[in-house]
Amino acid sequence: FQSTIPVMSIEGGLKEGKSVIIIGRILPDASRLHVNLQCGSDSKADIALHINPHYENDSAHVMYNTYKNGTWGSEQSTPDSPFVKDKLFAIEILVTKEAYKISANGKHVMDYEHRIPITQVNTISVDQNIELEFIESFYSKQLVPYKTLINGGLQPGNNILIYGVPNTDSKRVEFNLRHRYGIAFHYLSLFDENVVVCNTSENGKWGAEERSGGVPFLKGQLFQVKISCSREHYAVFVNGQQAHTYKHRFTKLDDIDVFEVYGQLQLIFVHV
């Protein structure tokens, strides 16, 4: 959802085992902001979980609280803030029986015990100081190796978005666009060699490698990758900057119907 949506309903409400993910960028002049899980969209609605990064006096910290029957409860806080102005962030909130397990940019930051029953929570509200990229709620965690189908195959104009964090000891991050007979586009980042390898494989045989220096990822840091398919080539953008292009060798694009992720990374979200 490419815009600022202040309020979004959670389809089917919150349940144990469900995750809510919010991906966005904090505007550079924000002094504070919030992400809420709340009971309805009314301005006076109870708020089960209020996540509130502060930036006053250059001491970034995050406050957590609950708003119930018109009053705020006792605050909990974490000293360091993973939310950096003008940088991409990803919050993942996993609902368990006892608590919300909150992660930011792939790192666990807080277990916040329930003060309002999760069955009453049905709405996500986000501050206008956040430029939203995605809000989603889902059950399955996106584990690596990861594989998903592309309905109807790949078409010119299609974009695949990947959000993740390479492990601090990561050796490689690999993305593949596959068809029945092989891999149309293989994009492999090798950290130790600091090189990116692009290639195509058909009927078990690899073509000539296209190698270029400079892995576009940092270990332990959140990335956004967009693989954009045009009639002539794939363009790979990392954190908004074009990193690579790769001319099509396999041209039956609508036969390409699987996207895969391999390597040592935490996968946060994939949108095909």
Q: Judge if 117 and 181 occupy the same domain.
A: no
- Pair 61, 67: CB distance under 8 Å: no
Taking the model in full, what pTM does it have?
0.89
Q: What is the pLDDT of residues 216-235, one digit of tens each?
A: 999 999 999 999 999 999 99
Q: Judge if 164 and 132 occupy the same domain.
A: no
Q: What is the mean pLDDT of residues 256-272?
A: 96
Q: What is the pLDDT of residues 48-86, one digit of tens each?
A: 999 999 877 667 789 999 999 999 999 999 988 888 888
Say if 2 falls within a structural domain: no
Output the CA angle 18-23-29, nearest 5 degrees. Answer: 140
pLDDT value at 15 more than 80? yes
Q: Judge if 221 and 188 occupy the same domain.
A: yes
**Residue 106: CB atoms within 10 Å:** 20
Q: Judge if 12 and 127 occupy the same domain.
A: yes
Say if 81 falls within a structural domain: yes
Residue 255, classed as helix, strand or coil, is helix
Q: Which of 138, 173, 189 is the last residue of a domain?
A: 138
Total domains present in the chain? 2
Say if 74 falls within a structural domain: yes
Report the CATH number at residue 98.
Answer: 2.60.120.200
Q: Judge if 248 and 160 occupy the same domain.
A: yes
CA-to-CA dists, residue 116 to 67, 94, 242, 252, angstroms: 9, 16, 45, 53
- Pair 26, 4: CB distance under 8 Å: no
Helix ranges (H only) for the chain are none
Which helix (H) or strand (E) segment is 19 a member of?
A: strand 19-26
Q: How far apart are CA 9 and CA 14, in angstroms?
A: 10
How high is the pLDDT of residue 57? Answer: 65
Q: Judge if 108 and 31 occupy the same domain.
A: yes
Q: How many residues in the chain? A: 272
Q: Which of 106, 122, 138 is the last residue of a domain?
A: 138
pLDDT value at 2 more than 50? no
**Average of per-residue pLDDT values in the chain:** 93
Who has greater pLDDT, 116 or 26?
A: 116
Q: What is the pLDDT of residues 172-222, one digit of tens each?
A: 999 999 999 999 999 999 999 999 999 999 999 999 999 998 999 999 999
Which range marks the domain in which residue 155 is found? 146-271
pLDDT value at 139 more than 90? no
How high is the pLDDT of residue 55? Answer: 77
Q: Which of 109, 138, 167 is the last residue of a domain?
A: 138
**Residue 264: CB atoms within 10 Å:** 16
Paired sense of beta strands 123-126 and 7-9, if any: antiparallel
% of the chain residues with pLDDT over 70: 96
Q: Judge if 46 and 167 occupy the same domain.
A: no
How high is the pLDDT of residue 6? Answer: 66
